[in-house]
Amino acid sequence: MHVYPVQPCELICKDYRVRINGAEIPLDSARVSAMPFNRRWPGHQRQIEQTELCNFLSFCVDGPVEIEVIPNKPFDPDRLEIRPASLGIRPVCADGVIRFVLPSAAYFTLEPWGRHGALHFFADPPADYCYIPDQKTYYFAPGIHDAGLIELKSGETLFIDEGALVYGRILAEDADDIAILGRGILDNSREKEVILFEVNAENNDADVGNASRTHAVELRYCDRVKIEGITIRDSLCYNIKPSGCRNLEISHVKLIGNWRFNSDGIDMHNCEGVHIHDCFLRTFDDSICIKGFDFFFAEDPAQATYDAIHHDGEVFDTFRNALVERCTVWNDWGICLEIGAETRAEEICDIVFRDCDIIHTTSLVLDCFNADYAHVHDVLYENIRVEYDDIIPQPKIQTSDADKYVQTDPDYAPQLLSARVSYNAEYSDKSRRGINRGITFKDIYLTGRQLPRLRFDGYDAEHMTSDIRVVNLVYNGVPVKSLPPERIRINEFCANIELFKE
């Protein structure tokens, strides 16, 4: 076991002291969302009062370790949680100290005070690579680096070593055989919006089209890409945005510090051959999304979509063959595991979400939101474990700076499963609609106080949601045989919806 060095940053959180195998270790800090309060773009970022600081620690383990945690204020041992529960970690509390054994590498949270003030553990497995100096590797050693924009070309590797804090962002276009590796931190906090024109901050109906924003990692039309091990903190917009990419693997990546508007996790557009596994994502907006192209802000969205699909003599009109597995998700506002909403692709198919833990959510959990024209088919959500808080913060829209967040429904519960063909006047294609067919939700385990809610919608008789199967939905350890009518919504443009099969 060894602990990664921590570099000083502007954020200082001292909620805990931690010892591993008897040695006290340094903690890092991040700013996260404290409430699910979103708004149309007001020309400035969220108010700092809507956020809080949290601690995280990063280290590598190759066997069991003994951990002691000392919170800086009192807590109720009976309400202490370690999530995901599937890890089976049973802490022991005595004299204000929390003790437990971590048997192997894992990403998880310790929560003495509920969802606020959580301690995030990023315990990596040993890396199967090391830094080898060469002319095609950008190397960042332990220390602080103000890198700005890092552009990767074909055959190049970016290595962020453990203990390295790199302020910057990464861009690659038409680059093949590239890699982003290491156990250090890519910090996007110094990236700011460029305001293109002013909008009214109060009761604003405009979206973020008046601001130009970049993503922490953006990949355009790349082939054979590997992203492994890094932590991304405080992304301005999406943490990782691949568009038109093929043969992409993302593993052991940790996302934290997402509090700004549209700080999604991994949002992918018209890609093929994607494998995302063993990652931790705490995001403000959507966590992992399979999408078509999204050019609803363009002056001519149809032409922009055509140009994106037809790139360099090739056609990128399909999202095919994606596997997301063994990921842990904490979502503070948006959707956890999603197809859509942008679906400007001819097909989105052969998609699998498997063996994942959802440890906190406020909105839709497993969703297929077909808001454009794709034929979405052959989708599987399997062995997904969802943990609901006793009181789930209810997502709210802020309309002015003076608005304050208020929880109005203590029994609020988000939709657990959803598949929809829909139209949105702002960003859907105006002339075409899609269909959903052949979506299976299998071995879905929900724990919590609130019963599951399900929703299935088609658009019209020609654009339906059909052949949907819900197999072995389990609520608090008991297979669900039926639900009250108010917990299930199925509109008239659905067909062959099979619920609660065994």
Distance from chain centroid for Cα 130: 27
- Residue from 411, 499, 416, 485 nearest 454 by CA: 416
Q: What mean pLDDT value characterizes the chain?
A: 95
Judged against a pLDDT cut of 90, whether residue 140 lies above it is answered with yes
C-alpha distances (whole Å) from 29 to each of 15, 140, 145 are: 10, 21, 18
Mean pLDDT of 483-494: 97
> Could you read off the pLDDT of 14-30 as tens digits, one per residue?
999 999 999 999 999 99
Between CA 386 and CA 441 the distance in angstroms is 13
> Could you read off the pLDDT of 378-424 as tens digits, one per residue?
999 999 999 999 999 999 999 888 999 999 999 999 999 999 999 98
Cβ-count burial 266-298 (b if 16+ within 10 Å, e if not): bbbbbbbbbebbbbbbbbbbbbbbbbbbbbbee
**Dihedral (Cα; 163, 164, 170, 174), 10-degree rounding:** -80
Between CA 458 and CA 466 the distance in angstroms is 8
Quick check: helix, strand or coil at residue 147? strand
Which residue reads 């997402």 in tokens? 258
Judged against a pLDDT cut of 80, whether residue 210 lies above it is answered with no
Structural domains of the chain, with CATH = 2-124 (2.60.350.10), 137-397+405-501 (2.160.20.10)
- In the chain, the percentage of residues whose pLDDT exceeds 70 is 98
> Could you read off the pLDDT of 250-262 as tens digits, one per residue?
999 999 999 999 9
Q: Is 355 exposed, middle or buried (0-12, 13-18, 19+ CB in 10 A)?
A: middle
Q: Between 205 and 56, whose confidence is greater? A: 56
Mean pLDDT of 351-376: 97
Between CA 169 and CA 152 the distance in angstroms is 11
Mean pLDDT of 51-78: 97
